[in-house]
Amino acid sequence: MKIAIGSDHAGFIQKPDIIAWLKEQGHTVIDCGPKTDDRCDYPDFADKVARLVASNQADRGILICGTGIGMALCADKVAGVRAACLQTPQFAHLFREHNNGNVLCLSGRFVSLETNKEIITEFLTTEFAGGRHSGRVDKIMREDDDQFCGVDC
């Protein structure tokens, strides 16, 4: 799988380990930065990763900041992206199975590297279940459409 990854200074501490671990498993990794743990702004890296996923230049995205929250807020604004900030492997499983999530946002400060690897494993190995979930995901994506004016209009 081709995976785009980015962090800010708070998530940087886990990024090199996660990249090496993903490569060991045979994945192609696009490192969108940063290159150091100098203070930086998480939306710049969320934007890069989200756009690579939205344009199909990457299959999935992984973003790491202090909490994962800011990354998810930013990435989800890019059309075509379904991003969420997750702290457990079970939620990552359901994020894929029910929501067909394509950008995973992680906490580098409050979740261990070991747990984040378990979350990533579920994110990369769980298939979207489709079926009753497909129409719901389609309804999520209509929010990207400028012509969509809301459910009741």
What residues are labeled active site? 65, 98
Q: Give min distance, CB of 66 to ligand RB5, in A.
A: 3
Beta-strand runs (E) in 1-153: 2-7, 28-31, 60-65, 83-85, 103-107
Nearer to ligand RB5, 65 or 100 (CB): 65
Q: Give min distance, CB of 56 to ligand RB5, in A.
A: 27
Q: Which of 12, 42, 95, 123 binds ligand RB5 (CB under 6 A)?
A: 42
Query: Is residue 67 close enough to count as binding ligand RB5 by CB under 6 A?
Result: yes
Residue 30 has φ and ψ, to the nearest 5°, of -105, 110
Query: Is residue 8 close enough to count as binding ligand RB5 by CB under 6 A?
Result: yes
Query: Is residue 43 close enough to count as binding ligand RB5 by CB under 6 A?
Result: no
Pairing of strands 103-107, 83-85: parallel
The answer to whether the Cα torsion of 96, 98, 104, 107 is positive or negative is negative
User: Nearest to ligand RB5 by Cβ — which residue?
Assistant: 70
Q: Give CA–CA dist 153/149, Å, rounded.
A: 6
Q: Which of 13, 19, 33, 66 binds ligand RB5 (CB under 6 A)?
A: 66
Site for ligand RB5 in 98-127 (CB under 6 A): none
Q: Tally the C-alpha atoms within 13 A of residue 138's C-alpha that lie toward its C-beta.
A: 6
